Structure 1
């Protein structure tokens, strides 16, 4: 694999590819043609490659509830849903989706993307938004 030229604020493409490959392997995802892109080295591009449908649909893949971050939520966890950019409490799992509920209650939603523990700042922001909604009389 070729490496990119190093410059300020750049990452070696080989290092980036290997880091991505390790994370994807840990999540049970294999992209055989993952590698450095053949474009201009100054762009530091990776090639994600092509994956056949048979590989995507292959039986025996890891549990789809385990996201690429390697984090598997538990019921009651406060998580950040990368798809909706909202904090929610894990209330259930239905098939490959996690059901999340807003902190102040309300309608649940299915998380379709990456989940991770909510940071302290994200939990605080969600709590402040909840307090503001209550002070405006929007919530009990």
Structure 2
């Protein structure tokens, strides 16, 4: 079964100005706009962040809509980048469908989001470094 061609909510190295944006997204998107994922906290990782379900928290990022003709290939490439394979217990991330909110007009949009996988989530909650304010680009 082919996943629906939803936009992506990106919050780390795929954001504009970050290293993986140019490698994976430049020239392949229809639009990129600021957005927020409510109900997710952001933790610092080894050079990239993890979003973790957390009621009341907010993660800042971009809603990226891929050009239709590249969406299936981009989805496969991002799954590999995020070390996600459906059902694999060794995943770093799980690709899930979530509602995100556009900053421009407050509308809600369904999008793909890579959240920390269960084992990673447990480690982060126990020993992780929370990124206050939920914006990875201003963590420094």
Verify same fold: TM over 0.5. no
Structure 1 or 2, whichever has the larger Rg, is 1
TM-score (norm 2): 0.24
Structure scoring higher RCO (CA < 8 A, sep ≥ 6) equals: 2
TM-score (norm 1): 0.24
